[in-house]
């Protein structure tokens, strides 16, 4: 048995050796991957090692214990699944910052390091992907990889100069966003050009431009169907690549959007946050986009104009959450989750949405949204996250957010049952299903089969539910034993005469629920504490 020192669940020497061998004796940090063992000059049998078998979740509680999980048993805490092989520098880093170096991240490092070791086994040593980039940079420029940021910047400058030579009247701004290249053309003088299109596309383009003038929207055109006579930059772009064209309104004004919810009786209100963005004014409507909370929230509002500023009324309203910002975070640490959930909860429960809009520092609108705003799907998903957070807390098992693993209806309902049981100690729901069971009767059980003099032949049946497994965000949780009671049911014997049944007989019984029959699921009073 592994010796425990100072109540630490340390790894055995065998576990340490296997952690090192499974990653080829190299640090598991993908940004490091240095070899950890080399000969020592102290003697022919001496080895100089800078490697450490680090705990993913801490070996013992206490100050400085990073990622400690009290739900783990000692044998789980010192098993190879809770270890990662790192160089001394990286081991020190992860033990000083559990916010950056999460459990999920360290498991991902370990998985990638083991996959790399498997690929490299029996092959000549190949440079890592970043090493290959560094070699390429040096070969192309004659400078070291520290020159890489300047290389990208200089490449953009070189491309801009190329386009400047094609048409000196324009400056071209080049950006890269989400794997796509974006060109922004700035005219340095008034440029006259002809935009040519066939009749069908001309009609479509005119329609979109008119809509932009009316409601402030951008104009997105089918670029391949257009010809720009007198704009050589665009002609060249059309030759070289697949391009889409957006005509964006530049007459944007700074805007602040304040959101709050008001209770149905108007006695209570809850302020959300002030969101900032821009507004584009059209002749019939104003388009507004505003965001906040570090990029978590984006709202889009369309405001119809009925006359002047005083006649503004809030129209279409959308509210989007950037779930990607929560990726791989522990559920208990999702930024602003409580405020976002509360806001959507109120709206979904018939609170009025009140919107205040300031443009250029002047309040133009304070209005209740005249749309029947509901976010049912968003509320259900946030409610699922809330329940998963609470279950994780109750059973002391951390869960990590994965936006790609959406709950099915079955998982949502199962999560709701266990949430109610763990938080409120019981969950009740109407039970209308006729059920057949086979039971071996004891002396007490035979009483169920005898007609009572008062005519009341209804009973309750209680039994334990074995620990249930549930998968939330791709992680398996084992929930405690529960007690299930089906109330007010009438037993009916199947294919047997009642008078011929005695204690010890195996009898098939049909359980017929009454109109007020319920199924009650409760926590067993003697289960271990999860709080």
> Which candidate, 292, 261, 288, places its Cα nearest to that of 276?
292
C-alpha span between 77 and 69 (Å, rounded): 9
C-alpha span between 119 and 174 (Å, rounded): 38
Predicted pLDDT of residue 372: 58
Cite the beta strand spans of 369-494 per DSSP E: 426-430, 435-440, 459-465, 469-472, 475-478, 482-493
Taking a C-beta distance cutoff of 8 angstroms, is the pair 136, 151 a contact? no
Taking a C-beta distance cutoff of 8 angstroms, is the pair 291, 259 a contact? no
Taking a C-beta distance cutoff of 8 angstroms, is the pair 85, 115 a contact? no
Which residues 6+ apart lie within 8 Å of 434 measured at CB?
510, 511, 512, 513
Coil, helix or strand for 61?
coil
Domain residue spans of the chain: 13-120, 167-247, 252-374, 384-523
- Give the number of other CB atoms < 10 A from CB of residue 338: 11
Return the structure tokens found at 95: 């033990």
* Cα-based torsion angle of the residue sequence 287, 293, 296, 299 in order, rounded to the nearest 10 degrees: -20
Predicted pLDDT of residue 456: 54
Q: In a structure prediction context, what are the per-residue pLDDT tens digits for the chain, which is 531 residues long?
A: 344 456 788 889 999 999 999 999 999 988 888 899 889 888 888 888 889 999 988 888 877 788 888 888 888 888 898 899 999 999 988 888 888 888 888 888 999 899 888 888 876 655 555 555 555 545 555 555 444 455 556 666 777 778 888 888 888 777 765 556 777 788 888 888 787 777 777 777 788 878 878 777 777 776 667 777 888 877 777 776 666 677 777 778 888 999 888 888 888 989 888 899 888 888 888 888 899 888 889 988 887 776 544 444 556 778 889 998 898 899 999 999 999 999 999 988 888 888 888 887 777 777 766 555 667 889 999 999 999 999 888 888 888 998 888 888 888 888 888 888 888 778 887 888 777 766 665 555 444 554 444 445 566 777 777 777 888 888 888 777 778 787 777 777 776 666 666 666 677 778 788 888 888 888 776 444 434
Return the structure tokens found at 218: 């951008």
**Residue with the two structure tokens 């004004």:** 253
Predicted pLDDT of residue 529: 43
Judge residue 482's burial from the number of C-beta atoms within 10 Å of its C-beta, 0-12 exposed, 13-18 middle, 19 or more buried: buried
Return the structure tokens found at 360: 């250029």
> Which candidate, 243, 251, 209, places its Cα nearest to that of 226?
243
C-alpha span between 394 and 479 (Å, rounded): 10
**β-bridge partners, 477:** 470
Q: If DSSP states are collapsed to H, E and C, what string results for 166-190?
A: HCCCEEEEEEEECCEEEEEEEECCC
Predicted pLDDT of residue 85: 94
Predicted pLDDT of residue 150: 57
What is the phi-psi region of residue 97: left when phi exceeds 0, alpha when psi lies from -120 to 50, beta otherwise? beta
Give the Å distances, CA to CA, from 461 to 302, 319, 439, 450, 520: 58, 48, 12, 16, 10
Please tell me whether the overall predicted TM-score, pTM, comes out greater than 0.85 for this model. no
């Amino acid at each position: 048995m592994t010796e425990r020192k100072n109540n630490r669940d340390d790894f055995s020497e065998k576990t340490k050796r296997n952690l090192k061998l499974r990653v080829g004796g190299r640090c598991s940090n993908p940004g490091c991957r240095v070899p950890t063992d080399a000969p020592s000059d102290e003697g022919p049998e001496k080895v100089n090692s800078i490697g450490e078998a680090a705990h993913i979740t801490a070996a013992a509680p206490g100050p400085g214990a990073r990622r400690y999980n009290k739900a783990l048993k000692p044998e789980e805490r010192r098993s190879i699944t809770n270890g990662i092989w790192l160089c001394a520098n990286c081991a020190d880093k992860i033990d000083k910052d559990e916010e950056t170096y999460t459990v999920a991240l360290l498991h991902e490092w370990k998985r990638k390091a083991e996959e790399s070791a498997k690929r490299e086994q029996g092959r000549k040593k190949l440079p890592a992907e970043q090493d290959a980039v560094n070699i390429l940079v040096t070969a192309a420029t004659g400078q070291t990889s520290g020159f890489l940021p300047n290389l990208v910047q200089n490449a953009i400058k070189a491309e801009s100069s190329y386009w400047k030579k094609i048409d000196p009247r324009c400056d071209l701004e080049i950006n890269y966003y989400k794997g796509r290249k974006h060109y922004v053309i700035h005219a340095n003088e008034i440029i006259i050009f002809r935009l040519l299109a066939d009749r069908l596309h001309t009609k479509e383009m005119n329609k979109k431009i008119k809509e932009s003038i009316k409601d402030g929207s951008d104009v997105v055109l089918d670029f391949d169907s257009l010809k720009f006579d007198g704009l050589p930059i665009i002609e060249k772009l059309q030759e070289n690549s697949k391009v889409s064209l957006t005509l964006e309104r530049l007459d944007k004004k700074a805007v602040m959007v304040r959101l709050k919810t008001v209770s149905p009786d108007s006695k209570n209100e809850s302020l959300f946050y002030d969101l900032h963005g821009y507004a584009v004014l059209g002749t019939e409507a104003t388009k507004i986009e505003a965001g906040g909370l570090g990029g978590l929230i984006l709202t889009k509002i369309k405001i119809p104009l009925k006359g002047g500023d005083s006649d503004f009324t809030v129209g279409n309203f959308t509210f989007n959450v950037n779930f990607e910002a929560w990726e791989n975070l522990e559920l208990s640490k999702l930024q602003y989750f409580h405020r976002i959930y509360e806001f959507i909860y109120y709206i979904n429960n018939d609170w009025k949405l009140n919107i205040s809009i300031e443009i250029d520092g002047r309040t133009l609108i304070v209005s209740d949204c005249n749309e029947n705003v509901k976010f049912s799907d968003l509320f259900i998903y946030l409610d699922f996250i809330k329940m998963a957070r609470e279950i994780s807390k109750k059973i002391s098992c951390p869960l990590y957010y994965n936006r790609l693993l959406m709950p099915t209806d079955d998982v949502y309902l199962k999560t709701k049952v266990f949430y109610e049981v763990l938080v409120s100690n019981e969950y009740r729901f109407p039970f209308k299903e006729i059920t057949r069971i086979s039971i071996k009767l004891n002396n007490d059980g035979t009483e169920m089969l005898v007609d009572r003099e008062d005519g009341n032949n209804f009973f309750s049946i209680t039994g334990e539910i074995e620990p249930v497994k549930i998968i939330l965000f791709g992680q398996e949780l084992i929930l405690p034993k529960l007690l299930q009671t089906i109330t007010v049911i009438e037993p009916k014997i199947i294919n047997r005469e009642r008078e011929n049944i005695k204690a010890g007989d195996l009898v098939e019984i049909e359980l017929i629920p009454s109109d007020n029959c319920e199924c009650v699921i409760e926590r067993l009073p003697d289960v271990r504490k999860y709080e």
